[in-house]
Amino acid sequence: MVSKILIFMLWFLVWLLLSWPPRISSFITGALVSAFVSFMTMDILVKDRPSGRSPLRYLWFVYYIIIFLWECLKANIDVAWRVLHPKLPIRPATIKIRTDLKSDIGLTFLANSITLTPGTTTIDVDKQNGYIYIHVLFLKEGCPDHDMRLPVVSKFERILKKVFE
Protein backbone atom coordinates (compact mmCIF):
# COMPACT_ATOMS: atom_id res chain seq x y z
CA MET A 1 0.00 0.00 0.00
CA VAL A 2 2.77 2.40 0.93
CA SER A 3 4.56 1.88 -2.38
CA LYS A 4 1.27 2.50 -4.26
CA ILE A 5 0.89 5.85 -2.53
CA LEU A 6 4.56 6.59 -3.29
CA ILE A 7 3.97 5.94 -7.00
CA PHE A 8 0.91 8.25 -6.93
CA MET A 9 3.01 10.95 -5.24
CA LEU A 10 5.76 10.53 -7.85
CA TRP A 11 3.37 10.98 -10.80
CA PHE A 12 1.70 13.90 -9.02
CA LEU A 13 5.10 15.55 -8.51
CA VAL A 14 5.96 15.13 -12.21
CA TRP A 15 2.60 16.67 -13.12
CA LEU A 16 3.14 19.60 -10.74
CA LEU A 17 6.61 20.31 -12.15
CA LEU A 18 5.22 20.17 -15.69
CA SER A 19 2.35 22.56 -14.93
CA TRP A 20 4.34 24.94 -12.72
CA PRO A 21 3.28 27.46 -11.23
CA PRO A 22 0.71 25.46 -9.18
CA ARG A 23 -2.96 26.52 -9.38
CA ILE A 24 -6.11 24.96 -7.91
CA SER A 25 -7.24 23.74 -11.32
CA SER A 26 -3.91 22.05 -12.07
CA PHE A 27 -3.96 20.44 -8.61
CA ILE A 28 -7.38 18.85 -9.25
CA THR A 29 -6.59 17.71 -12.80
CA GLY A 30 -3.21 16.42 -11.66
CA ALA A 31 -4.68 14.41 -8.80
CA LEU A 32 -7.24 12.80 -11.15
CA VAL A 33 -4.72 12.05 -13.90
CA SER A 34 -2.03 10.69 -11.59
CA ALA A 35 -4.58 8.56 -9.73
CA PHE A 36 -5.62 7.06 -13.08
CA VAL A 37 -2.04 6.56 -14.28
CA SER A 38 -0.86 5.04 -11.01
CA PHE A 39 -3.87 2.70 -11.08
CA MET A 40 -2.90 1.57 -14.59
CA THR A 41 0.86 1.19 -13.98
CA MET A 42 0.67 -0.26 -10.46
CA ASP A 43 0.94 -3.90 -11.49
CA ILE A 44 4.05 -3.17 -13.57
CA LEU A 45 5.86 -0.99 -11.07
CA VAL A 46 4.95 -2.50 -7.69
CA LYS A 47 6.49 -5.89 -6.95
CA ASP A 48 6.61 -7.83 -3.71
CA ARG A 49 9.48 -6.53 -1.69
CA PRO A 50 11.32 -8.01 1.24
CA SER A 51 9.96 -6.44 4.42
CA GLY A 52 11.86 -5.22 7.43
CA ARG A 53 14.38 -3.00 5.68
CA SER A 54 15.73 -0.18 7.76
CA PRO A 55 14.76 3.41 6.92
CA LEU A 56 18.48 4.19 6.99
CA ARG A 57 18.62 3.12 3.36
CA TYR A 58 17.24 6.50 2.27
CA LEU A 59 20.27 8.14 3.85
CA TRP A 60 22.49 5.65 2.02
CA PHE A 61 20.73 6.57 -1.22
CA VAL A 62 21.53 10.27 -0.69
CA TYR A 63 25.15 9.29 0.02
CA TYR A 64 25.12 7.20 -3.18
CA ILE A 65 23.90 10.17 -5.27
CA ILE A 66 26.69 12.39 -3.92
CA ILE A 67 29.38 9.74 -4.62
CA PHE A 68 27.85 9.13 -8.05
CA LEU A 69 27.87 12.81 -9.08
CA TRP A 70 31.49 13.16 -7.98
CA GLU A 71 32.57 10.04 -9.92
CA CYS A 72 30.55 11.23 -12.93
CA LEU A 73 32.41 14.56 -12.94
CA LYS A 74 35.80 12.82 -12.68
CA ALA A 75 34.83 10.46 -15.49
CA ASN A 76 33.90 13.30 -17.79
CA ILE A 77 37.14 15.17 -17.21
CA ASP A 78 39.03 11.91 -17.84
CA VAL A 79 37.22 11.21 -21.13
CA ALA A 80 37.57 14.84 -22.22
CA TRP A 81 41.33 14.61 -21.58
CA ARG A 82 41.59 11.45 -23.69
CA VAL A 83 39.63 13.08 -26.51
CA LEU A 84 41.89 16.13 -26.55
CA HIS A 85 45.19 14.20 -26.21
CA PRO A 86 46.95 14.13 -29.61
CA LYS A 87 47.97 10.44 -29.26
CA LEU A 88 44.47 9.28 -28.18
CA PRO A 89 45.57 7.12 -25.19
CA ILE A 90 42.96 4.36 -25.17
CA ARG A 91 43.14 0.62 -24.46
CA PRO A 92 39.59 -0.58 -25.11
CA ALA A 93 38.39 -3.98 -23.89
CA THR A 94 35.18 -5.82 -23.11
CA ILE A 95 35.46 -7.58 -19.79
CA LYS A 96 33.28 -9.70 -17.55
CA ILE A 97 32.87 -8.71 -13.91
CA ARG A 98 31.06 -10.34 -11.06
CA THR A 99 28.20 -8.72 -9.11
CA ASP A 100 26.45 -9.68 -5.89
CA LEU A 101 23.29 -7.65 -6.53
CA LYS A 102 20.18 -9.72 -7.19
CA SER A 103 17.22 -7.33 -7.40
CA ASP A 104 16.17 -5.79 -10.73
CA ILE A 105 16.24 -2.21 -9.50
CA GLY A 106 19.64 -2.64 -7.87
CA LEU A 107 21.11 -4.05 -11.11
CA THR A 108 19.50 -1.24 -13.12
CA PHE A 109 21.08 1.41 -10.91
CA LEU A 110 24.45 -0.34 -11.00
CA ALA A 111 24.39 -0.66 -14.82
CA ASN A 112 23.36 2.97 -15.26
CA SER A 113 26.08 4.16 -12.88
CA ILE A 114 28.68 2.06 -14.71
CA THR A 115 27.65 3.64 -18.01
CA LEU A 116 28.00 7.16 -16.63
CA THR A 117 31.34 6.69 -14.84
CA PRO A 118 35.06 6.35 -15.68
CA GLY A 119 35.38 5.01 -19.19
CA THR A 120 32.99 2.10 -18.79
CA THR A 121 29.74 1.15 -20.55
CA THR A 122 27.49 -1.76 -19.65
CA ILE A 123 26.95 -4.05 -22.63
CA ASP A 124 25.01 -6.93 -21.14
CA VAL A 125 23.80 -8.36 -17.84
CA ASP A 126 23.78 -12.06 -17.07
CA LYS A 127 21.37 -12.18 -14.16
CA GLN A 128 21.38 -15.95 -13.56
CA ASN A 129 25.12 -16.21 -13.02
CA GLY A 130 25.59 -12.70 -11.62
CA TYR A 131 27.91 -11.30 -14.29
CA ILE A 132 27.97 -7.90 -15.97
CA TYR A 133 29.75 -7.41 -19.30
CA ILE A 134 31.24 -3.94 -19.63
CA HIS A 135 33.23 -2.10 -22.26
CA VAL A 136 36.23 -0.24 -20.82
CA LEU A 137 37.84 2.71 -22.57
CA PHE A 138 41.20 2.41 -20.82
CA LEU A 139 41.97 -0.96 -19.23
CA LYS A 140 44.54 -0.59 -16.46
CA GLU A 141 47.20 -3.26 -15.86
CA GLY A 142 45.96 -5.94 -13.50
CA CYS A 143 42.27 -5.10 -13.95
CA PRO A 144 39.99 -6.97 -13.55
CA ASP A 145 41.69 -8.74 -10.63
CA HIS A 146 41.51 -12.50 -9.98
CA ASP A 147 38.10 -12.04 -8.34
CA MET A 148 36.75 -10.36 -11.52
CA ARG A 149 35.99 -6.98 -9.96
CA LEU A 150 36.77 -3.35 -10.73
CA PRO A 151 37.45 -0.92 -7.86
CA VAL A 152 34.88 1.69 -8.92
CA VAL A 153 32.15 -0.88 -9.51
CA SER A 154 32.70 -2.49 -6.11
CA LYS A 155 32.41 0.92 -4.50
CA PHE A 156 28.96 1.49 -6.05
CA GLU A 157 27.96 -2.08 -5.35
CA ARG A 158 28.69 -1.78 -1.62
CA ILE A 159 26.40 1.25 -1.28
CA LEU A 160 23.64 -0.08 -3.56
CA LYS A 161 23.55 -3.30 -1.58
CA LYS A 162 22.67 -1.31 1.53
CA VAL A 163 19.98 0.63 -0.34
CA PHE A 164 18.13 -2.03 -2.31
CA GLU A 165 18.78 -5.37 -0.65
Partner 1 sequence: MNETIGISLIVIGLVFDFLGCLGLVRFPDVYTRLQASAKCVTLGTCGILFGLFLFKGFSATGMKALLCLAFILLTAPVSAHVLARGAYRSGVKPCKDTVIDQYGESINK
Which residues would be at the binding site for partner 1 (CB under 8 A)?
14, 17-18, 20-21, 72-73, 75-76, 79-80, 82-84, 88, 90-96, 111-113, 115-116, 119-124, 126, 133, 135, 137, 139
Nearest to 113 by CA among 165, 75, 60, 163: 75
Burial (CB < 10 A; 0-12, 13-18, 19+), residue 64, is buried
CB of 95 to partner 1, least distance (A): 5
CB of 159 to partner 1, least distance (A): 17
Q: Dihedral of the CA atoms 51, 56, 60, 66 (nearest 10)? A: 130
CB of 100 to partner 1, least distance (A): 19
Nearer to partner 1, 13 or 56 (CB): 13
Nearer to partner 1, 103 or 122 (CB): 122
Q: How many residues comprise the chain? A: 165
Nearer to partner 1, 92 or 151 (CB): 92
CB of 79 to partner 1, least distance (A): 5
Q: Give the CA distances from residue 120 to residues 147, 148, 150, in Å, rounded to whole numbers and listed in that order.
A: 18, 15, 10
Residues paired with 144 in a beta bridge: none
